[in-house]
Amino acid sequence: DTAVSQTPKYLVTQMGNDKSIKCEQNLGHDTMYWYKQDSKKFLKIMFSYNNKELIINETVPNRFSPKSPDKAHLNLHINSLELGDSAVYFCASSATGGNSPLHFGNGTRLTVT
């Protein structure tokens, strides 16, 4: 199936740990994104990346870093996890260019204890 897939679906970890979430898309899209949805269901952009350009939301702590081994993957690394990092993280992709719809994965629920 063509899709955006992210793993794991659930991630429970302790404060201070480092963790990664993987994302892969097989839609042939050039641009990938990470969004964070908090407990109030507000979906916030964290990063967008399209091979050459990384756009970072300035409010994202530098403990968060995206890594793209190739065009089809954009993984999210989080260092020194904090309680406030608990949220659902969504990966998405789109064709390059304005007004292209986003295709989302089904999210990774991160719980930091």
Partner 1 sequence: SQKIEQNSEALNIQEGKTATLTCNYTNYSPAYLQWYRQDPGRGPVFLLLIRENEKEKRKERLKVTFDTTLKQSLFHITASQPADSATYLCAPDLEYTPLVFGKGTRLSVIA
Give the one residue of 19, 71, 73, 104 binding partner 1; rule: CB under 8 A.
104
Yes or no: say if 20 and 76 are a contact pair by the CB < 8 Å rule.
yes
Of 11-19, 22-30, 72-80, 94-102, which segment contacts partner 1 by CB under 8 A? 94-102
Q: What CA–CA distance (Å, rounded) separates 44 from 31?
A: 17
Return the number of other C-beta atoms located less than 10 Å from residue 7's C-beta.
14
Q: Does 43 bind partner 1 (CB under 8 A)?
A: yes
Give the one residue of 90, 93, 110, 112 binding partner 1; rule: CB under 8 A.
90
Return the number of other C-beta atoms located less than 10 Å from residue 83's C-beta.
9
* Contacting positions for partner 1 (CB under 8 A): 4, 33, 40-43, 45, 48, 55, 90, 92, 97-99, 101-107
